Every structure is written in C-alpha cells, then in structure tokens.
Chain A
Amino acid sequence: MSALMNNKMAKIVFYAAILALGIFLPIWFPNYIGQLTVMWLMVIFALTWDILGGQMGYNSLGNIFFFGVGMYTTAMVQVGMFYDLAEYTSPAGGEIYTFNLTQYFSGMAVGYLVAGLICVVFAVVLGRLMFGLRGPYFAIGTLALATVVGELVSTWELVGGGSGMSMPNFPGEPAVSKAMFYAMMFALAIVTFLFLRWLYGTHFGLAINAIRDDEEKAEGMGIHTLRYKTVAWSIAAFFLGVAGAIYGNFNNFFEPIEVAFPTTTFGIFMVLMVLLGGKGTLWGPVIGAILFHIIKEVTWTYLLGWQWVALGLLIIITVVYFQQGIMGWLMDKKPTWFGIRVEGEKQRLGDMQ
C-alpha cells in the first residue's frame, strides 16, 4: 500500500476506479439509485463535518442547519422565480403548478447558487457569535441553532409551515430525473473531496490544524484565528447548502423537522461517520460514510424493528472504544504507510559536532 500510495500511476488508476464505480454502480443496480444518491450525500456530510470537527477541533452538532437553509433557499428561488410563493404554498390552493424545461433548469441553477451563497452569509454572521464558544459549549450552541431554526421554520406560513413544501415537478421521465440527481450528488461529492484535498495542502490546512492542537498558541503567534474559523465554516456551509438544494429536489417534497433540519438523524450521522472513518484525515470521512451507509441500509433491511438499537450500539462502540476511527487506527498501526516518521534520521556523516 505504501508503494501504491506513493506511486503516481497507481493513484490515477485508483481515482479512475472510483470514478468508474460512481458511474457504473447506478447502471448495474438501477433499483438502488436512490440509495446510492443518499450514499454520496453521506460522503458530503462527513467531508464537510470533518473540516471543523476533525481538522479544526470544533465539534459542531448544528451543521445540518446549512443543509436545511440550502433546501429552503433553492425551493423559494425555484418557485418564486415563476410563481407567487404565498399562493404556491397556500393550503387552500388546489392549483397545479407546472414548470417547463427552461424554467425548471434555470430556476435550479440560480437556486443552487443562491443556496450556497446564503449559507456562506449565515456562516459568516453566525460564526461571529458561535466562535465565541469553545469545546462542548460550541457543540451545544450549534445544536441549539439547528434545532431552534427547525422549529421556527415550522411556523413560517410562507414556506408551508410544518407541512413543508413540494418542489417543482421535473418535466420529463422520472427515471431521467433520478439519474440526474444521482449525477449531481456524485459530482458534488467529487468536487467537495477535490476541493478539500487541495485546501488541506495549503497554508489553510496547517492553520486549522494549529487551531485544533493549541488555539491559544496560534493566537499568540499572530494567526488570524477567527478569520480561519469563519472561512472554514463557510466552506462547509457552502457545500452543505448546495447538497441540501440537490436533496430537496431529489426528494421532491420536504418539511422542516424530518427532512430539512433533521438534527437527530443526519445531524448525528455526520458526526458518527467521521468518527467511524477517522477524523482529521482526508479519506476517513469518505470510508466512514460509505461503510456507515451500508451498515445502516443492511440493518434497516434485515433487522427491521431493531435498526435503531443496532445503530445505537454502533454509536456507543465507536464513541467509547474506537474514537480514532479506521484511518486513525491504521495510522497508529502502520504510520509508514502514510509517510509519518516515528524515528529521527541518522546523524549524517560529517555533521557530527
């Protein structure tokens, strides 16, 4: 594996294989295309959670907030561009609203972009408040944020209140729309991964690692800690917002508590997936997300009725006995595979003092 990881050619083959799997899996297993879409969503969840939770040492339990904001934002844009939003969501209305292809796709393009950007704005503004909190206080503060906003949106009539909203219907074959949303989610997962891979290789990666290891020291060295924390959260917010926008369309219908701001399901899954795969690593969240999704689907299928018990057990075992995760465990056991040195170099000849 060491040779494999260090070999550029092997790396290209490895990435190509993942790309090919991403393309061919839904073709080989067309019945599972919805599941596979959610699997890539899980990868995005884990990757974005790890920016703060793993790389920066800030455990956010409220990242799901941006997912919901993205979903609502794109819905409001996609509908609002062509119809009156209040009439569209009015419980009295029995009208059928149709969107032609141009309307559908232009609305979606604008909606996704605005969703991502609104989430960045929220991250910047809320970051000023939230990053005054450290450790467990930050975790509870962000959890409160997501929970409260979910409840607040439930009372907002304009977006359908507690009964939620339907998204514009795709003007075409349902099979085409399924393939399209799969492609979107897969593409977003790839873009998120590549973006983070680049980001962690820059000065930014070092800075957020420094904040994780000793924030006071980082401040003492003059590092703009608040700036880094805000930008890190904004990056997570952007990708989560777009993911939420895609998921809303994929699901066709959403409501605030269970779909848009699900703090007790997706909101916890993202933490668990990262812990399972190994926090603070690039591949850990990806491995954790895919493994978790498989475990979850298998228990839902074969242990129906006991699935939450199985999931609870998985959480307890991971949190209590396996905090370093799969990648963390591998790095501990085989550090040389990852280029981590455990021994100093031999003093070079002629360098003896």
Chain B
Amino acid sequence: MANDVLIPTPLRAYADKQDVVQVEGNTVGELLQNLTAKYLGLKKHLYNEDGRLRSFVNIYLNDDDIRYLDKEATVVRDGDTISIVPSVAGG
C-alpha cells in the first residue's frame, strides 16, 4: 500500500519537481524514511544532523499535525494523505 505525500513548492526541486509522491510505510516515520531514501536531497531539509525532524517543517496526516498524534509513530492507513508544510516567509 502506498500513500500520497504532498511535496510543497520549496521542496519540489529535491523530489524530481513532483508535487505528489507515492510512498509506502506503516507509520509516518517509516514513510518519511522511505521518501528520503528515494530522494536524498530532501533529507537535509526534513531532518537535522541528529536525525530529528526539523522544527520549521511540519508533517500533517490528513489535516492533523503529527506532533499532536503519535509523532513519527503515527500509523498510516489506506487513503491517508501526508503533507509536508515548511515555513515560508515571502510577502
């Protein structure tokens, strides 16, 4: 089973310019690991040197912030959409 991961505009350059990528994984963490294994350039934008998710990138399972679910252990079900939502500052 693969889920849609929505790639935001600033990170599309690191995912072959795609806005949606299909990735497999039972949890959000697994899925992001698989995503960054496939697109190496995304890794430093999602994780810091200690391998923790960066605090200026939020991960949503459908419309919920995973920080308020089970974080990276949040279970992903069929049809769930994962969104990467980085901070942007343009005005």
Partners in one complex: no
